[in-house]
Structure 1
Amino acid sequence: MSRLNRLAGALPLLAALMMTTSGAGAQQARVTPMTPDMYPAYDAVRPQADYVRRVAMVPMRDGVKLYTVIVFKKGTQDGPILLSRTPYNAGKATSRMPSQRIVDILPLMDAEFVDDGYIRVYQDVRGRNGSEGEYVVNRPIRGPLNDTGIDHATDAYDTIDWLVKNVPESNGKVGITGSSYVGFTALVATIDPHPALKASVPQSPMVDGWMGDDWFHNGAFRQLGLDYATGQMTNAGDNGPVPTGKGDDYLKYLRAGSAGDYARAYGVDKFPFYQKLAQNPAYTGFWSLQAVDKWIAERPLSVPTMLVVGQWDQEDSYGAPAAYAALKDKPGAKDKLHLVIGPWRHSQVNYQGDSLGALRFPGDTALEFRTRYMKPFLDHYLKGAPDPKIPRALTYQTGVNRWDASSQWPAGKAKSLYLGADFSLSFSPPAAAGHDEYISDPAKPVPFVPRPIDARDADVWKPWLVHDQRFVSDRPDVLVYQTAPLEEAVHIMGPPQVDLYASTSGSDSDWVVKLIDVYPDGDTYTPEMSGYELPIGIEIFRGRYAHSFENPQALAPGKVERYRFGLPNVNHTFKAGHRIMVQVQSSLFPLYDRNPQQYVPNIFDAKPGDYVKATQQVYFGAGTASAIVLPVAGD
């Protein structure tokens, strides 16, 4: 074939190729096997999506810009804004799964809001994920610890100011919510708030990291929290936990030694966050000046606030009740302040709430709360809906499984339940005084859940506070006191108080006290709960702080000390036929670091030779009448 003929034969092909690459209805150019396969950008929100998703870098007053995602259903007009400010990745929170349905891309708790015209906004706090600036964990408010003029209150103010001016689909009203750290930012936003902030729902807010939230409880260090350092502070992104591999956490921490030895072994001691913890083991101004309940106590309550916490919150049980106590007597608090306690673990209010560990509830208690109480509360302040008349305290009565409305909290009256001889427990003081004892060995600490322990397993960590305590009841280093089967139900509403008289042969000691509901044996209706020892409250106290949280001191060996501290807030009924049990022990490992049981200046730096056995004595009767003071309702 001649060259001319070949050219003539190629003309139709060239013409077809030109047609595919030009004109309004042009097709894409043909590709070859060597065409590069990377596509420059893909918008996951397709034209058929039922929502709009926008990303903005919102400027703060110091010039730092914060990564902000705005999501709402198509067609939304005059919608209220519901804001969450998070260190946990706003991008991921608004792209939960690839979908064209808004209820799929957002967290479960958002569905009922966006389906009703709410504009959902998630923002990375400064220094995290897509936001500029420096990340400081629980950044202190402007004042003695922070002279920058910038804090989460100012960032919330500036964010709200930008949103009401730049989201034309909104009605100019903003609510703020979130759990844990996001509950902390929701609570701090109420300090010197923007006028457009009309309501706040802080859930399990981090309020005081030393007294009873994430980092310490009454001075005892929660060493499992070291994963937070590597996960949140290696860089601005999402990172992994301390790289210890698989295996029994009990042995990992025990073999490492002190919490400081563990941190040094894995390089966590280099993190400024760890250094803050280790250099400040006592409740000095470093911690007290960061306590959010103290900040809000100094300011008027101007934003209607609904504080929420789970009865079995394994991370932040302290914050919401402490904030409520700080605000409840302020002018206007009667109408603007509410406390909610649900039958949940940490943050479960935003997930399914029909069960927790072995416990089963009649229906989804979390969904019930969100639809019957939380959303009507926000609707009232953000949409002008009728006042839902939310009670001052809304708490779920476990044991009988129903919501209770109360005009005050605590709602029960103090009634002492006394430890007595032969490991008895009674509302009547014991006839004779005495004591019981056990040997506490730091080489064999009491585990907080059955071994082997994988505390990163959600099925272990999330429900641990309701785990059946029979796994330690027979240990010789755990004292067990219990009542006879109850002839009448005992209903408590509030925080039970520990009033413990105890001594140690050492010069320091931890005291762990558990309040437990013991189910009857032989229950054929719920056989899985037969004999179950359900914790109602568990708390720890580090003995060196018996006289001062700020100035620890050695305990005098053999001297009886009085330890008074609170258990978590609860609404619970011990049914007739059940028993009430109290367990006392001196370790809860490896959740809390071991006490050496002889005084050292800083337990983070305890050496192997500092850890010694100690004889622990718990006293009852007469002038040393150990008791649990229960907030009994209806008496």
Structure 2
Amino acid sequence: MIVRSLIAALLASTIVVAVPAAAQKPLPTSDIPANFTPTNAKDYTVREVSIPMRDGVKLHTNLVIRKGLENAPIIFSRTPYSADRAISGRPSNTYKLALPTTYARLMEAGYIIAVQDVRGRYRSEGDYVIALPLSGPLNPAKVDHSTDSWDSIEWLVKNVPEANGKVGTTGVSYGGFTTLMSLVDPHPALKAAVPVNPLADGWKGDDWFHNGAYRQSFLDWVYRMSADKSGTYRLQFDREDTYESWLKAGSVGDMAKRIGVDQLPMFQKLVEHPAYDEYWQGQALDKILGERPLKVPTLHVHSLWDQEDIYGAPAVYKAVEPKDRGNDENFLIIGPWQHGQGYSLDGSKLADIDFDGNTSVWFRENVLVPFLDAHLKDGGKKSGIAPVTAFETGANQWHRYDRWPMSCASGCQYKSRPIYLSADGGLGWGAPKGAGGFAEYVSDPARPVTYRERPILSTYNPNTTWGQWLVDDQRFAESRPDVVTFVSEVLTDDVRLAGEPIAKFFASTTGTDSDWVVKLIDVYPAEYAEAPEMGGYELPIAMDILRGRYRDDPSKPTAIPANQVVGYEIKLPHVSHQFKKGHRIMVQIQSSWFPLYDRNPQQFVPNIFTAKKSDYVKATQRIHSSAKYPSRIELPIMP
């Protein structure tokens, strides 16, 4: 009876506490709610907008704004590399971690960041044309990067309530190019510009050619940028060592057909315009901006070891400088960097070369932010920066100058001084006397000189060190029989350079065309106590190439007269360097730089892009040195 009573009591209690079936909440069919609003704990916001251009095309733009910010200037960048990626750092609620380095620093300084996909790329509408020229003979449309910049700035100052009505443009590489384009016909609200390592002249010394020699490594870039809208495709070589792939393919045209690049309009334009004709001259931004009034204070950022656009910044600075009568609107900074390093990467080292401190941080804190603040902040104070700020490699010191170059052949504060090549491989300050002689080598296109040690990875290989090749130890080249080397005695005093070295040499060839590569090198002592691992290092200071057919007129190629002595001149990239006492100065000359540049057949053909395998021949090259033929390097020496 007791047990039955307990069971009855339990049943009764269960019935009492049970919830009626009609009142039960049904289980959800999915753990993902139909509507979810995340809690915004971030200290910044990203606002996506589509800005209409004058032709109706809308350009995708990201606005990154710190919470609570008011009356702030806008830093505006235009990129073909994705505006979304440009503002992507690491996942974080704070902009200092979420944004890339420089954008984070500018946000901290009180700026709004605006980044835009150029027309036809990623999320922007319209048609994409690589480095679209200004509207005119080369561009029949009524729009270009200059008009797109103007229209975008017009929209920004009217539609961003947190802004103070002032805009500064900036960007690296192609972004540097679009920054320069914003200066052609600047919007009244554009108050400052910082082009960083910009593409300015794609034939003379940026990206696609150097003095007529085609940079075939950029076939990767052309493929990535124009095979589709969003950079989906990557060029795949048949071998890890691209030296073998290029050599096996033959000419650039042969390689293009093999991998399908010949279908791309940009490559077709390159093939149609191998010389410095109206196509290239008509879009050279140093010439274009040099012909226009200077309306916007501009800080040109140059990298001494820029592996991609080493020509642009100094060239545009030089072209615009005569218009800066007060010496207070056209600025230049020269840093010890690879492409883009000073703007967004650590600047303590480049490969094995140590700079005794983070030069990139120094630039941002002491030059970039003060320059922008002075011109974009309401009531901004004078920046106090020098017209020219240059880092002197070798000594690892920053210098303030009132102009650049400091030393040159004429019109500079200091006069350049020649150092002469000797037929016996010497390099000295005394001019050669008498009949002299020559240094000789055989250039064989079947065994071209590499631009760095093999294996040579493609530009975008995940393991590439592409950004460091301009500081590679050149001992690998010195040991080759098809490279001639000239070296000085050990220096008894420091030698400072600040300007543009110019190679003026006399050469003969058994062929009817030839490339000439000249390298200016700092040779470290064999026993180097400061850094034993650098003992004997051959550090390139300035290197470049000239395609011989363009020696007289870049726009009209002509054959080189075989077996005759011909004079050549190569303006090497600008230097700010100190050869230290105990070091030596070296010059190397060769006739190929492969596979960075395409091979010269060494006999004259109408178009090297379409050369046949049978066109490539050996040639005997001679570098002459005598009273009649004083081959030399004009060095921009400082006291």
User: Same fold, TM exceeding 0.5?
Assistant: yes
CA contact (8 A) 2:202 2:208 kept: yes
Alpha-carbon distance between aligned partners in 1 of 2:231 and 2:48, rounded to the nearest angstrom: 19
Match status 1:546 vs 2:547? no
- Structure 1 residue 243: Cα displacement: 1.8
- Structure 1 residue 525: Cα displacement: 2.2
Matched with 1:477 is: 482
Q: 1:352 aligns with which of 330, 346, 349?
A: 346
Counterpart secondary structure, 1:624: coil
Match status 1:493 vs 2:491? no
- Structure 1 residue 240: Cα displacement: 3.2
Residue type of the alignment partner of 1:49 = K
Counterpart secondary structure, 1:63: coil
Match status 1:579 vs 2:584? yes
In structure 1, stretches of 5+ residues that fail to align are 1-6, 19-28
Matched with 2:403 is: 408
- Structure 1 residue 318: Cα displacement: 0.3
After TM superposition, the structure 1 = structure 2 runs for residues 41-60 of structure 1, keeping only pairs within 5 Å, are 46-60=39-53
CA contact (8 A) 1:301 1:332 kept: no
Matched with 2:200 is: 207
Count of residues in Structure 1 that have an aligned counterpart in Structure 2: 614
In 2 relative to 1, CA 236–150 (structure 1 residues): closer, same or farther, beyond 3 Å?
A: same
Match status 1:196 vs 2:189? yes
In structure 2, stretches of 5+ residues that fail to align are 1-14, 408-414
Instruction: Give me the identity figure in percent.
Output: 48
Alpha-carbon distance between aligned partners in 2 of 1:9 and 1:134, rounded to the nearest angstrom: 71
Q: 1:370 aligns with which of 364, 371, 375?
A: 364
CA contact (8 A) 1:327 1:333 kept: no
In 2 relative to 1, CA 333–179 (structure 1 residues): closer, same or farther, beyond 3 Å?
A: farther
Deviating more after overlay: 443-452 vs 383-392: 383-392
Matched with 1:422 is: 424
After TM superposition, the structure 1 = structure 2 runs for residues 20-419 of structure 1, keeping only pairs within 5 Å, are 30-31=28-29, 35=30, 46-332=39-325, 334-349=327-342, 350-383=344-377, 384-412=379-407, 413-419=415-421
- Structure 1 residue 105: Cα displacement: 2.5
Structure 1 residues 149-198: Cα deviation after superposition (integer angstroms, max 9, x where no partner): 21111111111111111110111111111110000111110111111100
CA contact (8 A) 1:500 1:618 kept: yes
Match status 1:16 vs 2:16? no
Counterpart secondary structure, 1:328: helix
Alpha-carbon distance between aligned partners in 2 of 1:42 and 1:105, rounded to the nearest angstrom: 23
Alpha-carbon distance between aligned partners in 1 of 2:610 and 2:233, rounded to the nearest angstrom: 25
Counterpart secondary structure, 2:360: helix
Residue type of the alignment partner of 1:354 = S
Matched with 1:564 is: 569
Structure 1 residues 542-600: Cα deviation after superposition (integer angstroms, max 9, x where no partner): 00011111110111111111111211111000001100000000000000000000111
Residue type of the alignment partner of 1:400 = A
TM-score (norm 2): 0.93
Counterpart secondary structure, 1:335: coil
Matched with 1:439 is: 442
Matched with 2:7 is: none
Matched with 2:4 is: none
In 2 relative to 1, CA 532–569 (structure 1 residues): closer, same or farther, beyond 3 Å?
A: same
Matched with 1:26 is: none
Alpha-carbon distance between aligned partners in 1 of 2:541 and 2:36, rounded to the nearest angstrom: 51
Alpha-carbon distance between aligned partners in 1 of 2:88 and 2:531, rounded to the nearest angstrom: 40
Q: 2:593 aligns with which of 588, 591, 604?
A: 588
In 2 relative to 1, CA 491–39 (structure 1 residues): closer, same or farther, beyond 3 Å?
A: farther
- Structure 1 residue 143: Cα displacement: 2.2
In 2 relative to 1, CA 74–425 (structure 1 residues): closer, same or farther, beyond 3 Å?
A: same
Residue type of the alignment partner of 2:427 = L
- Structure 1 residue 60: Cα displacement: 0.5
CA contact (8 A) 1:517 1:581 kept: yes
After TM superposition, the structure 1 = structure 2 runs for residues 596-611 of structure 1, keeping only pairs within 5 Å, are 596-611=601-616
Deviating more after overlay: 556-565 vs 302-311: 556-565
- Structure 1 residue 41: Cα displacement: 9.1
- Structure 1 residue 10: Cα displacement: 9.3
- Structure 1 residue 333: Cα displacement: 6.0
In 2 relative to 1, CA 407–578 (structure 1 residues): closer, same or farther, beyond 3 Å?
A: same
CA contact (8 A) 2:457 2:464 kept: no
In 2 relative to 1, CA 559–496 (structure 1 residues): closer, same or farther, beyond 3 Å?
A: same
Counterpart secondary structure, 1:423: coil
In 2 relative to 1, CA 347–42 (structure 1 residues): closer, same or farther, beyond 3 Å?
A: farther
In 2 relative to 1, CA 133–333 (structure 1 residues): closer, same or farther, beyond 3 Å?
A: farther
Alpha-carbon distance between aligned partners in 1 of 2:364 and 2:624, rounded to the nearest angstrom: 46
Matched with 2:541 is: 536
Alpha-carbon distance between aligned partners in 2 of 1:86 and 1:189, rounded to the nearest angstrom: 13
Counterpart secondary structure, 1:113: helix
In 2 relative to 1, CA 617–12 (structure 1 residues): closer, same or farther, beyond 3 Å?
A: farther
RMSD (Å), alpha carbons: 1.8
Counterpart secondary structure, 1:175: strand
Alpha-carbon distance between aligned partners in 2 of 1:202 and 1:574, rounded to the nearest angstrom: 30
- Structure 1 residue 147: Cα displacement: 2.7
Alpha-carbon distance between aligned partners in 2 of 1:364 and 1:121, rounded to the nearest angstrom: 27
- Structure 1 residue 65: Cα displacement: 0.3
CA contact (8 A) 1:496 1:568 kept: yes
Alpha-carbon distance between aligned partners in 1 of 2:176 and 2:166, rounded to the nearest angstrom: 19
Matched with 1:24 is: none
Residue type of the alignment partner of 1:543 = G
Residue type of the alignment partner of 2:367 = Y
- Structure 1 residue 113: Cα displacement: 1.0
In 2 relative to 1, CA 245–9 (structure 1 residues): closer, same or farther, beyond 3 Å?
A: farther
In 2 relative to 1, CA 578–348 (structure 1 residues): closer, same or farther, beyond 3 Å?
A: same
Structure 1 residues 206-228: Cα deviation after superposition (integer angstroms, max 9, x where no partner): 00000000000000000010111
- Structure 1 residue 481: Cα displacement: 0.3
Alpha-carbon distance between aligned partners in 2 of 1:559 and 1:252, rounded to the nearest angstrom: 35
Alpha-carbon distance between aligned partners in 1 of 2:198 and 2:530, rounded to the nearest angstrom: 38
- Structure 1 residue 453: Cα displacement: 0.9
Residue type of the alignment partner of 2:120 = G
Alpha-carbon distance between aligned partners in 2 of 1:90 and 1:40, rounded to the nearest angstrom: 30
Alpha-carbon distance between aligned partners in 2 of 1:160 and 1:463, rounded to the nearest angstrom: 36
Matched with 1:619 is: 624
- Structure 1 residue 389: Cα displacement: 2.3
In 2 relative to 1, CA 11–527 (structure 1 residues): closer, same or farther, beyond 3 Å?
A: same
Residue type of the alignment partner of 1:370 = R
In 2 relative to 1, CA 15–630 (structure 1 residues): closer, same or farther, beyond 3 Å?
A: same
Counterpart secondary structure, 1:380: helix
Matched with 2:454 is: 451
CA contact (8 A) 1:376 1:385 kept: no
CA contact (8 A) 2:87 2:99 kept: yes
In 2 relative to 1, CA 517–78 (structure 1 residues): closer, same or farther, beyond 3 Å?
A: same
Counterpart secondary structure, 1:622: coil
After TM superposition, the structure 1 = structure 2 runs for residues 496-511 of structure 1, keeping only pairs within 5 Å, are 496-511=501-516
Alpha-carbon distance between aligned partners in 2 of 1:610 and 1:344, rounded to the nearest angstrom: 39
TM-score (norm 1): 0.94
Alpha-carbon distance between aligned partners in 2 of 1:279 and 1:11, rounded to the nearest angstrom: 84
Residue type of the alignment partner of 1:157 = W
Alpha-carbon distance between aligned partners in 2 of 1:460 and 1:549, rounded to the nearest angstrom: 32
Alpha-carbon distance between aligned partners in 1 of 2:91 and 2:250, rounded to the nearest angstrom: 45
CA contact (8 A) 1:435 1:618 kept: yes
Alpha-carbon distance between aligned partners in 1 of 2:149 and 2:97, rounded to the nearest angstrom: 27
